Amino acid sequence: MRLTGAEMVIEALKRENVEIIFGIPGGAMIPVYDALYKSDLKHILTRHEQGAAHAADGYARATGKVGVCFATSGPGATNLTTGLATAYMDSVPVVAFTGQVPTSLIGTDAFQETDATGITMPITKYNFLVKDIKELPHVIKEAFYIARSGRPGPVLVDLPKDIQNAEGEFDYPDNITIEGYIPDPPVSKREVLRILDVIKESKKPIIIAGGGIIISEASEKLREFVNLTKIPITTTLMGLGSYPETDELSLGMLGMHGTRYANYAVSECDLLIGIGMRFDDRVTGKIEKFAPHAKIVHIDLDKAEIGKLVNTFLGVVGDAKRVLNILNEEIKSKGLSFDFSSWHETLREWKEKHPLKYDLSDEGGVKPQYIVETVGKLTNHKAIIIGEVGQSQMWAAQFYKYIEPRTHLSSGGLGTMGYGLPAAIGAKLGRPDKIVVDISGDGSFQMNLQELATISHNKIPIVIALINNEYLGMVRQWQELFYDKRYSHTSLSGNPDFVKLAEAYGIPAKRVTKNEDVESALKEAIESGTPYLIDFIVKKEENVFPMVPAGAALDDMIG
């Protein structure tokens, strides 16, 4: 089949079962948009390319499929970069197509020229600059294959305008392999079974589940494993939803703003099994004092993660689901059982003694923690919650109680303020059956609020719960605790009237100033079936606790 390069892009997207594209056209991308015009593929016009990248990311995280975004050359490509870096840090499959100046002009500082592949090299899993129409079908196939296989990640395909216009034979391969790339390495059963020997010797084991469980769709196997072994489990921020937090063996999230009992458990345990997680500094605290009594078993698909930051007693390279399956089958066939009841008793005491807590008073405004708890209650813990970055992100992580995978979306690795609103667009369009709530600070919200137009125009029923404290709250918290309250440039006074702002975009909105009005307002927003913004005027100097100060050991918590 003879097609132009632009038509090939659209045809390839159909073959990849892409349902939706997020993007913004521009001079160097017009041919692709022209081919799109003639197709029935759904495209959402965001108001900023960063929004397109985050929306593709949110779609991918909510559905497990590859998110797709389009942008033009130059500023279009550079505007995508924050979104690509966000997806890269959290291993999210996204394929970005960017326009590029014609091949004859590359390197001449042409209008809207930028080195898109050069700029995105360190923030993509791979990228391509297509210089020959003959390569294009194969390149797109590879892009999707690379993005979704192995440890997923974003891939960028840079398309010079003359390549978009050139004609060629569209021969789209069904399956491909890439030399030297082994996305799903064979798992050594012998090594996996050594884990059981270590568990047998252990008295105080703990599991840390990370985002890898969600990516590998291993939640059920994890549940079975915990059920068979009765090993208590904590999750990283990215692992929220991988295991139901309502279960009695769940210790919730660990780390800088994790629960006291999860952090105590890690500091006390004699065996730590990390699955699909990477010992981030926000998880470990001071690394020299991390899990000081534990043998560390690390299961990860990415060999480079094993031994990167902590010394592992046993490292197993492999997909979490496969590894857990081998373990479960062995435990069942051998009829193994484990008894950690005295360890459970210790943890139960810690849980009772140090629960997550806050003071529900009306003094100074609404309590952010109460807002998050109420969202949890009203949605049976089954909505998709998008955390922004900072305090609102941490409250959304601490107080919702996640029970299903792919229901907590957050920029964990890069910590991108402004991620939430556009990611919510992608999540809602990918999972229209789900209630989607963006729990957003006023700082983060203003970094991508232009997407209100996208939400309004496309009537995307997202609930925006604005935690409005007129501060860059997390930085303010650090300034309060560690910089003698020198609030250097963290006040956001000068904020607009967010209710009027939403209304200007045609989005219904309401302001809530008292705890007693939180539930009814949220109920109304959720049931409205339309986009809805609630401006919660919260207590300005509320802090996220507990907290492990930067550089402290995990059990050295304040608050």
287 versus 504: smaller Cβ distance to another protein = 287
Q: Which residues bind another protein (CB under 8 A)?
A: 117-118, 121-122, 125-126, 129, 146, 178-181, 302-304, 307-308
Please answer whether residues 170 and 3 qualify as being in contact, where contact means their C-beta atoms are separated by less than 8 angstroms. Answer: yes
Beta carbon of residue 180, minimum distance to another protein (angstroms, whole number)? 4
Strands 154-160, 233-235: pairing is unpaired
> Which are the contacts of 473, defined by CB distance < 8 A and separation ≥ 6?
390, 391, 392, 441, 443, 467, 490, 542
**Nearest 5 degrees, angle CA 40-CA 41-CA 44?**
125
Beta carbon of residue 268, minimum distance to another protein (angstroms, whole number)? 26
304 versus 558: smaller Cβ distance to another protein = 304
Please answer whether residues 271 and 254 qualify as being in contact, where contact means their C-beta atoms are separated by less than 8 angstroms. Answer: no
Sign of CA dihedral 423, 426, 430, 431: positive
Measured CA to CA, the distance from residue 471 to residue 5 in angstroms comes to 48
118 versus 364: smaller Cβ distance to another protein = 118
Sign of CA dihedral 106, 108, 113, 119: positive
Instruction: Classify residue 516 as exposed, middle or buried by CB count within 10 Å of its CB (0-12, 13-18, 19+).
Output: exposed
Read off the tokens for 72: 């033009």
179 versus 484: smaller Cβ distance to another protein = 179
Beta carbon of residue 317, minimum distance to another protein (angstroms, whole number)? 10
HEC per residue, 321-350: HHHHHHHHHHHHHHCCCCCCHHHHHHHHHH
15 versus 303: smaller Cβ distance to another protein = 303
H/E segment holding residue 224: helix 219-229
Please answer whether residues 386 and 62 qualify as being in contact, where contact means their C-beta atoms are separated by less than 8 angstroms. Answer: no
Beta carbon of residue 207, minimum distance to another protein (angstroms, whole number)? 24
Q: What is the DSSP letter of 319?
A: -
In three-state secondary structure terms, 207 is strand
**Nearest 5 degrees, angle CA 381-CA 372-CA 386?**
75
Return the closest-CA partner of residue 437 out of 400, 412, 491. Answer: 400
92 versus 249: smaller Cβ distance to another protein = 92
Beta carbon of residue 110, minimum distance to another protein (angstroms, whole number)? 19
Beta carbon of residue 38, minimum distance to another protein (angstroms, whole number)? 32
Beta carbon of residue 147, minimum distance to another protein (angstroms, whole number)? 11
Read off the tokens for 4: 């132009």
Beta carbon of residue 121, minimum distance to another protein (angstroms, whole number)? 5
Measured CA to CA, the distance from residue 410 to residue 139 in angstroms comes to 30
> Which are the contacts of 469, defined by CB distance < 8 A and separation ≥ 6?
365, 368, 391, 441, 442, 538, 539, 540, 541, 542
141 versus 204: smaller Cβ distance to another protein = 141
Beta carbon of residue 286, minimum distance to another protein (angstroms, whole number)? 17
Measured CA to CA, the distance from residue 312 to residue 2 in angstroms comes to 54
In three-state secondary structure terms, 133 is helix
Taking residue 438's Cβ as centre, other Cβ atoms within 10 Å add up to 31
Annotated catalytic sites, by residue? Answer: 49, 111-112, 161, 474
217 versus 302: smaller Cβ distance to another protein = 302
179 versus 433: smaller Cβ distance to another protein = 179
In three-state secondary structure terms, 475 is helix
